[in-house]
Amino acid sequence: MATCPECEFDEIETADYEEGDTFSCPECGKNLVVVGADEVEIAGDEDEDLDDDDDEEEDLEEDDEDDVDEDDEDALDEEEDLDE
C-alpha cells in the first residue's frame, strides 16, 4: 500500500500497477504515478515541463522583438549614409 502525497490517504493499493502507471487517488482525486514498490508521486512533472516551454516561447518572442530593433537601427544607419 502507498500513501498519497497530496492528502496523505494511506490505503492506496498499488499491487495491480507497474512502475510508470498513472491513476487517481481514490480519496482526493489527484493524479498519481507509481515510481516504485508501494511508492507514488503526484503526476504532473510533464506539466511543469510545459510551463518551461511557455517560458522559452516568451524568450523567443522577446528575441524576435530585439531583432526588429536591430533591423530598425540598420535601416536608420543606411538612411544616414544616404543623406551624407
What's the confidence (pLDDT) of residue 58? Answer: 59
What's the confidence (pLDDT) of residue 48? Answer: 45
Neighbours of 16 (CB within 10 A): 8
- Stated as kind and residue range, the H or E segment containing 11 is none
pTM of the model: 0.51
Neighbours of 21 (CB within 10 A): 13
Number of H helices, E strands in the chain: 1, 3
At 21-57, the pLDDT tens digits run 999 999 999 999 999 888 999 988 554 444 445 555 5
What's the confidence (pLDDT) of residue 75? Answer: 61
47 Cα distance to chain centroid: 4
At 1-24, the pLDDT tens digits run 999 999 999 999 988 899 999 999
Mean pLDDT score across all residues of the chain: 75
Residue ranges with strand state E in 1-84: 22-24, 31-36, 39-42
